[in-house]
Each structure stands twice: as C-alpha cells, then as structure tokens.
Amino acid sequence: MELSGIELRYLVNEIRSRVTSGYYVSGVNAITKSSLLLKLHHPTQEDIMLVLSARGVWITRLKFKAVEENSLASVAQKELERAKLDLIDQAGSERVVSMKLRHPDGKVRIVVCEFFGEGNLAICDEGMQIIAILNPIHVRHRTLNLGLRYAYPPSRGVDVFEVTLEQMLSLRNEAKNLDVLRWIGRSVSMPKKFVEEVAKRAGIEADRQAARLSDEEVEKIYSTVKSLVNDVSAGKNHEPVIIMAGEKPLEALPIMTEEAAKANTKKAASYMDAVDEALSSEILDIGRSSKTVELDRQIAVLEHDLDEQNKAKEAVMQKSAAIRKLADGLMALSYQNPDDGKIHDMLAANSASIVKEKAVKYVEVVGEQIEMQANLAKVSSMLFARAKEMERGGASIEEARSKLLAQIEKLRNQTAAIHKKVIVKEQTAKEWYERYRWFLTTDGLLAIGGRDASSNSALIRKHLTEDDIVFHAEVHGSPFFIVKNAVASAYEGRIDSSLLQVAKATVSFSRAWKDGLSSADAYWITPGQIKKGAPTGQFLPKGSFVIEGKRNYFKGVEIRLAIGIVQLDGRETLVCGPEEAIKNRAMFYSVLLQGGMDPMTAAKKAKSEFVKIAGDSETAETIKRISLDDFVRALPTGQSRISFTARGQADK
C-alpha cells in the first residue's frame, strides 16, 4: 500500500488534532528496520502510539515489539525522548512529513519522513543538519547524508491543494498526446485510484485526448478534483474501507471508488483505523517472517523431500501396475500353448521385450528384467513376485512420507503459534480515570487521585462535580482524591468505611510513604469549599488550591497499600489502593509496605508473584503481557516491599 499526498494530508490533520499541546515522547522503540514506534504521553490524556515508517505515519491501536534491528533507534531514543511534539506538517501535497520536537532545555529536533520510492526517515537539528538518516541518498538532484543539510525533493507537478482553474486550462494546452487519466495524474500528482474516480465523477471518458477537452470539461474536472481532494484530506464524506485478499488487508481507502466496489472490502470506523490495519499488517508479515525464518527453511527442505518421496512412490506404483498387467497377460497366454509370435505380441502390447545378455534371455518391462523361462506360468509368477517386492518398497516409501508429513505439520503448528503471539497486541480502550490513581471502595464508589501537580490540577478543574467529595492529607506532597457521587451518603454516615479507605489512599500516596511515616492525618471537604484562584496578592503553586470552611478529619490514618489484578470491563488491569478495597475486588493482590526495594525491583517482584499464583492459566499469560512500566506506574513513589501475596475475593 502506498499513501498519496491527499491521504497523507488527512493523516497529518488527524494526528495534529489528537496530539494536543502537552504531549511528549516518553519512549522510542524499533519495530522493523524501517519503522519506529513513538509513545506520546500526556499528564491528563490517553497515551498515543505513533508509528513513523518509510511507508507512512499513523496512530496505531497496536503495541508492537521489535522484529528487526533499526539503525535509527538508538539515536532516536537519545534525540527525541522527553521532547514535546510542537508541530507536525506536510510539505505541500508531497509525500513528505516533518515533525518538530522541543526538549525541556529548548533543544529542537526535526524528524522528516519521506513516503515515496523506498521511503526514508531522517533526524535533523534545528538548522536541518542531518543527525541520523535511514537511507543515505546520492542522486543527481540531491544528496542526503550525515552532517549535510536536509534538502526536500523537487516538487512533482502542481500542488493539488493550490491548483487553480487557470493552471488546469494552461496544462490542458500543453497536454499534447496524453489521455485524460495520464494528464490529470501528471498535472496535479494524483494517484491512479483517484484519477479514475475524478474522470468517472466528472463524466469524462478516460481515453479522451486531454488536449481536446473543452473549457467547460476542464472546469468540470477541476471542480471534481477540488471536491475529491477536500473530501479526502479534510475527512469529509469518508466511507473508509479496506481492500482484502481473503483475510489479509491489502489497501486502505478513505472513499469507496468504482474499482474498490469490484473488490472484496470491509468497512473501517475511520480512515486512520483503515491505514492502521493495512500498514500494520505489512509490519506483522515482516515480524512473522523474521521470527519463523529457520522454521520456514526446515519446512521448505522437508516439502522438497516429500515431493521426491511422492514422485518415487508414484514411479514404483506405476512400475508395479505395469509388471502385474504383463504377468496377468502371460499367465492367461500360458493356458493356450502359444507360439513365439503370440508371446512377442503380448510383450509388445505391454511395452515389454525379450533381451539377451551373455547368452541369457530376459523379459524386460519398465526397466525391470526377469530371466526368461520355457514355462510362461513361471515367468508370470516371477513377475508377480517382483511386483509384490516393489509394492513392499512402496509401503516403505509411504511410511517415510507419513513421517515427513508429521514433521511438516509439527513445524507448521510451531509457526502458527509464533504467528499468533508475534510482536503485537491491541491496545484496549481505557476509562478516562485510568490515567489517574484510582480504585473502587468496598461500597462501590469510584475514588480518583492525582499523580502529580498537573494531574491534581486537572482532576479538580475538569472532573470535580458538586456531588463529589474531596480528600487531601496534612502532608507535604499530598494528592487530591475525589470520591464520585458521595456527598449525600457522606453526610448520612452511610459510607464511613469507604471514606476511611480513601483517607488511607490519600496519605499513602503522599510524601509520607517515601518519608517512611507510619501514619498521617487526612480530611475531606465538599467541592464548594475549594477556591481555584489565589487570594489577591498571593500565588498558588500548580496543583494547589485554597480550602475554606470546616474540614472533616481522619486522624492517625495507617499508611499501607495493596496492588492487585482486577476485572474492569471484561479485561484484567492493575489497581493500587487500600488493602480492604483491593482485596475485595482483586483476583490476586499483594500487600505493600514501605521501604526495601526501588520501584522497578518491586514491580518485577509483584508481577512474578501474580504470575506464580495464577499458575498455568490464561490469566497468567495476560499478567505476563502487562508491562513493568504499568506496575511501576501503579506503585507509590519511593521504596516498597511486598508483605504477602494472596488470592482476592474475586477469585473465590
């Protein structure tokens, strides 16, 4: 699949609209030798996985593992990680996209992606000097290599986004012997799939000579081009489909064309999703091939051997049948006292003959020789014996053939198993609150807490309603926790256990954990008591708010947490919170205490404990697929140790 300039414009616009201010590159990983996966993180919004490939740039729903080494990966990690995405843009209607990324220290990097020919990726500094490049280029019109300034390719035809009617009329006059399709394609750099659609929609015969088009026909083509380009690039009137070859995606289209209507297609939710499926399929094919190359080689060798065995068996059975036929004929003839003429006729009818070697006569048929006897019945019997001997050999060939088939089937099953689990899993849609700290209390109330100053601020400003209550701790570095839809129940005293659980979470996720305190005080208030602006003449740090009125305290709250695997919307996910709440809903959980291990070591330990207790089950495989980063993200800040691991109420 190749992306056109107008399809690329849609992808760029869509990425720009979704990667809003505040996103930064939190990880860069190789996928194939010509593609990278950028993880874009935002303090309060969902992570975005962006694929940069020599084939295209798109947002993916998949999580890829590396299947090939990529020469740019290490440089990209060094130069791009922690940098914010400032800008993504396309060079006119060319198949070239540039991304501007800015580090916290102000250092700027430009990533240029080319999607024509073999494709290319280049990382440049702010002055467009090339720091790293996937495919160095040395051609007549430009040279790209390390240390050189990046040069854009020469433009092809008129920019389809900027073309005017006057230009189209002028281009018609210069068309010479071009037909309509080639004229449109060369004039405004449109791919064949859209050129044909333009001609169809404009009602112009494809084989017409462009030079003979009237002004009215050129105007009709012009308006059709502009309309189609606007629809495709701006995401209007899209009917995204994927052209399929059986179960394999071949190409993604934003609109249904006349040619696509003749093919096997399936609908997609958006053109971005269609591109993701089609281009990701190409990556998956590369991954599968790279993972099974040795198995594929072994299968090819065995299949060659099997083919030889089939040929050998077929030859043996054909010979055996020919010998049996001659033996039957000679046996029947033996009852008739035949003369030499009848015997020779019988032999000739069965493509056999009598040969003489060293004064001994033999009957020769299909390359096999039997000594001639005066008694034809004896000759027939000897032929039958040779046929049986050959058939026994055929049985041995069949046995060897069966073993080869079994070996091939075993290798194919291994290949299929690798293909099923190779390199990718689909990202599941997460709830909005999963970007924060969260858990469900034993009363079923949703508690959501900030991770840092930014998410504290976002939580209060964006998600707090008048029906919620707010928790904070009397500790420096305390998160805000909100309990959704809890005001009425709190005043009626019906959720005291839940309030205590949220108080425990608030103090445990505060600086108190890192400082090793055994307990701390927390309080809850109503939304109306929070003032989001600083008093006149004062300054409030980010993530801080002024609190007025009475505070409802929980004194000496124990600092203790648990991390567990819970079911959420039919999928397993990690949750960290007070022990009572986690134990109540978890399949497995570990109680956490302060001190002992750094977050990564604690994460590895917790994951190992969960896999061990899950045993030989699908859940164990699911836990294995949860990244260590997710475990680290769930844990409190500072050192932790695991007190014990057990099965939760949801597993009983």
Give the pLDDT band of residue 65 (cuts 50, 70, 90): confident
In angstroms, the Cα distances linking 307 to 56, 318, 409, 635 are 42, 16, 15, 59
156 domain residue, yes or no: no
- Please choose, from the candidates 597, 596, 588, 650, the residue with its C-alpha nearest in 3D space to the C-alpha of residue 623: 588
Supply the CATH number for residue 34's domain. Answer: 2.30.310.10
Judged by average pLDDT, the poorest of 67-76, 240-249, 379-388, 486-495 is 486-495
The Cα 92–Cα 189 span in angstroms is 11
Does 120 share its domain with 236?
no
pLDDT in tens, 560-581: 999 999 988 778 899 999 999 9
Higher pLDDT, 426 or 321: 321
Does 253 share its domain with 309?
no
Encoded amino acid at 140, one letter = R
In angstroms, the Cα distances linking 448 to 17, 276, 433, 577 are 27, 33, 7, 10
154 domain residue, yes or no: no
The arithmetic mean of pLDDT across residues 86-107, rounded, is 94
Give the pLDDT band of residue 422 (cuts 50, 70, 90): low
158 domain residue, yes or no: no
Domain-ending residue, one of 360, 391, 421: 421
The Cα 486–Cα 471 span in angstroms is 12
566 backbone dihedrals φ, ψ, rounded to 5°: -120, 160
626 domain residue, yes or no: yes
For residue 487, pLDDT over 90 is answered with no
pLDDT at 431: 82
Give the pLDDT band of residue 534 (cuts 50, 70, 90): low
pLDDT at 539: 65
Does 556 share its domain with 506?
yes
Does 244 share its domain with 378?
no
Does 417 share its domain with 436?
no
Give the pLDDT band of residue 111 (cuts 50, 70, 90): very high
Q: How many CB atoms lie within 10 A of CB 278?
A: 24
Q: How many CB atoms lie within 10 A of CB 509?
A: 26
Torsion angle of the four alpha carbons 294, 295, 297, 298, in this order, in degrees rounded to the nearest 10: 120
The arithmetic mean of pLDDT across residues 34-39, rounded, is 94
Domain-ending residue, one of 384, 402, 421: 421
Using CB atoms within 10 Å of the CB of residue 393, give its burial: 0 to 12 exposed, 13 to 18 middle, 19+ buried.
middle
Please list the helix, strand and coil fractions of the chain in percent, rounded to the nearest 5, in that order.
Answer: 45, 25, 30
The continuous run of DSSP H or E covering 142 comes out as: strand 142-144
Give the pLDDT band of residue 538 (cuts 50, 70, 90): low
The arithmetic mean of pLDDT across residues 437-444, rounded, is 94
For residue 73, pLDDT over 80 is answered with yes
Domain-ending residue, one of 421, 444, 465: 421
pLDDT at 426: 59
Strand 481-483, strand 446-449: pairing: antiparallel
For residue 531, pLDDT over 80 is answered with yes
Does 392 share its domain with 443?
no
Q: What pTM does this model have? A: 0.62
Give the pLDDT band of residue 287 (cuts 50, 70, 90): low
pLDDT at 419: 62
Sorted by sequence, the CB contacts under 8 Å of residue 207 that are 6+ apart come out as 179, 180
pLDDT in tens, 488-514: 777 777 888 999 999 999 999 999 999
Show the tokens assigned to 615. 């045993």
- Please choose, from the candidates 90, 100, 118, 89, the residue with its C-alpha nearest in 3D space to the C-alpha of residue 23: 100
The Cα 62–Cα 13 span in angstroms is 21
pLDDT in tens, 334-364: 887 777 788 888 889 999 998 988 888 899 9
At CB < 8 A and 24+ separation, what contacts does 366-373 make? 366/318, 366/319, 366/322, 366/323, 367/319, 368/319, 368/323
pLDDT at 67: 78
Q: Rounded to an integer, what is the distance from CA 428 to the centroid of its chain?
A: 12
The continuous run of DSSP H or E covering 363 comes out as: strand 360-365
Encoded amino acid at 507, one letter = V
Encoded amino acid at 617, one letter = S
Torsion angle of the four alpha carbons 344, 346, 347, 348, in this order, in degrees rounded to the nearest 10: 80
Does 227 share its domain with 202?
yes
Q: What percent of the chain has pLDDT over 90?
A: 53
Does 242 share its domain with 305?
no
Give the pLDDT band of residue 634 (cuts 50, 70, 90): very high
Our count of domains for the chain comes to 4
How many residues would you count in the chain? 652
75 domain residue, yes or no: yes
Give the pLDDT band of residue 425 (cuts 50, 70, 90): low
Decide if 507 contacts 473 (C-beta within 8 A).
yes
Task: Name the residue with tokens 């604690």.
Answer: 602
In angstroms, the Cα distances linking 329 to 41, 323, 336, 380, 387 are 86, 10, 11, 8, 14
The continuous run of DSSP H or E covering 28 comes out as: strand 24-32
The Cα 516–Cα 511 span in angstroms is 9
For residue 416, pLDDT over 80 is answered with no
The Cα 59–Cα 486 span in angstroms is 38
Helices 271-291 and 5-18 meet at what angle, rounded to 10?
100
Decide if 451 contacts 507 (C-beta within 8 A).
no
493 DSSP 8-state letter: T
Sign of CA dihedral 432, 437, 442, 445: negative
Does 277 share its domain with 316?
no
Does 259 share its domain with 373?
no
Give the pLDDT band of residue 375 (cuts 50, 70, 90): confident
Does 26 share its domain with 112?
yes
User: DSSP E strands: which ranges in 156-314?
Assistant: 241-245, 248-253, 265-267
**In sequence order, what DSSP letters do the residues of 29-95 get, joined into one string?**
EEEETTEEEEEEE-SSS--EEEEEESS-EEEESEEE---S--TTHHHHHHHHTT-EEEEEEE-TTSS
The arithmetic mean of pLDDT across residues 401-428, rounded, is 73
636 DSSP 8-state letter: P
pLDDT in tens, 468-477: 999 999 998 8
Supply the CATH number for residue 259's domain. Answer: 1.10.8
pLDDT in tens, 315-336: 888 999 999 999 998 888 888 7
CA-only gyration radius of the chain, Å? 38
Task: Round the average pLDDT of the chain to a whole number and report it.
Answer: 89
pLDDT at 652: 62
Give the pLDDT band of residue 543 (cuts 50, 70, 90): low
For residue 546, pLDDT over 90 is answered with no
Domain region containing 348: 295-421
157 domain residue, yes or no: no
50 domain residue, yes or no: yes
| 259-263, 287-291, 558-562, 614-618, range with greatest mean pLDDT | 558-562
Does 476 share its domain with 602?
yes
Show the tokens assigned to 448. 């959501």
280 domain residue, yes or no: yes
Strand 530-531, strand 546-547: pairing: antiparallel
pLDDT in tens, 146-171: 999 999 998 877 889 999 999 999 98
